[in-house]
Amino acid sequence: MTSTTRPHLFITFQMPSQFIHSLERVFDLDYQDIPARLSHEQILSRIRAHTPDAILFSGGTKIDKEIISAAGDKLKMLATFSVGYNHIDIKECEKRGIPIGYTPGVLTDTTADLAITLLLATSRRITEAMRTVRNGEWGTSSNIMWMCGKPLINSTIGIVGLGRIGLAIARRLQPFSIQRILYSGTREKHFDSDSDKKLFKFVQFEELLHESDFVIIACALNEETTNMFNKKAFEQMKNDAILINISRGGIVDQDALYDALKNGQIRAAGLDVTVPEPLPTDHPLLTLENCTIFPHIGSADEYARHQMAQICVDNLLNFFSGKPMVHQLKIDNA
């Protein structure tokens, strides 16, 4: 009697049990319900021990040639718990015919919310402000300049990459009495309303750097955008500009950023993403008052995360029952 072999799914991170139950009905799971992160080596040994048909992993896990080769021909599909895919060797997947499911759309709102949080926290110097409450500095100065921030009113916003997230950020900034929104990227967007036509302006990257009071990085990390924010870029920015990165750390040359912040070439930076993640606790950027760093919490709310998890589950269940994924990465565009 032949037994039906269920596909084998390796899950590298911890998920709420309802999603595990959904997957258990179809897959044999290689899953440990503990929050500890798996290292590259641990992932390789688990794959070698029990070759998966599919792997479900998060944005923090590198799926490189070594891992893909270790999985060999048995690996049929990859499911990433992220909208970014810079951590995946796309070319290798294409060569081996491995399709990739991902989770666009459902984290747009929450990531845009976090971008605004980071922008406001940085421009209003929240870290410094909170500290003065704890260390007794509050109340010792009557200088009217004390703890003044950089206002949004009448400012020029520059958004690098006006995709879903970039546009959601732009919409959230509109009521703050900003003057205009410049954006750069691969192509100009078409706006229908007259007020949008007046508000948004498509410009070259250099002009955006030159003119913006707040620069927000919202583009994908790829070969063109790696280290795009280098020494030359910081030289072109305004001295009182604030830089916000909610995209990928690799878009910013961190040494150049450190120098720019230290030397007053730009006013301040707020980062939700770094290289590496986590950032080492002795990293020079952590010594700067004018650098605010969050631990990659862009999509960190239960609602968004549950929706992302559901898409991952549906991507996997659909693929293994011969149906189209909910969201499959189109490799030609990637």
Partner 1 sequence: MTSIIRPRLLINNQIPSQFIRALEPVFDLDYQDIATPVSQEQILSRIRAQPPDAMLLFGKILIDKELLSIAGDKLKMVATTSVGYDHIDVKECQNRGISIGYAPGVIADVVADLAVTLLLVTSKRINEAMRAVRNGEWGTSSDIGWMCGKPLANSTIGIVGLGHIGLAIARRLQPFSIQRILYCGKHEKQFDSENDKKLFQFVQFEELLRLSDFVIIACALNDETRNMFNRKAFEQMKNDAILVNIARGGIIDQDALYDALKNGQIQAAGLDVTVPEPLPTDHPLLTLDNCIIVPHIGGGDLSVRYQMIQISVDNLLNFFSGKPMVHQVNLDNA
Alpha carbon separation from 231 to 218, 234, 235, 253, 254 (Å, rounded): 19, 5, 6, 8, 10
The amino acid occupying position 152 is L
CA gap 218, 167 in Å, rounded:
9
CB of 286 to partner 1, least distance (A): 6
Residue 249, helix vs strand vs coil: helix
Bridge partners of residue 81, in order along the sequence: 58
For the question of residue 296 being annotated catalytic, the response is yes
**Token pair belonging to 245:** 């990165």
CA gap 174, 87 in Å, rounded:
33
CA gap 326, 318 in Å, rounded:
8
CB of 28 to partner 1, least distance (A): 21
Out of 283, 296, 306, 327, the active site residue is 296
Instruction: Output 2 or 142, the one with its CB closest to partner 1.
Output: 142
Reduced 3-state DSSP string for 233-281 = HHHHCCCCCEEEECCCHHHECHHHHHHHHHCCCCCEEEECCCCCCCCCC
Helix 302-319 to helix 108-123 angle (10° resolution) is: 150
Strands (E), 154-285: 156-160, 180-184, 200-202, 214-217, 242-245, 268-271
CA gap 26, 230 in Å, rounded:
48
**Token pair belonging to 152:** 């949004």
Instruction: Output 178 or 251, the one with its CB closest to partner 1.
Output: 178
**Active-site residue numbers?**
296
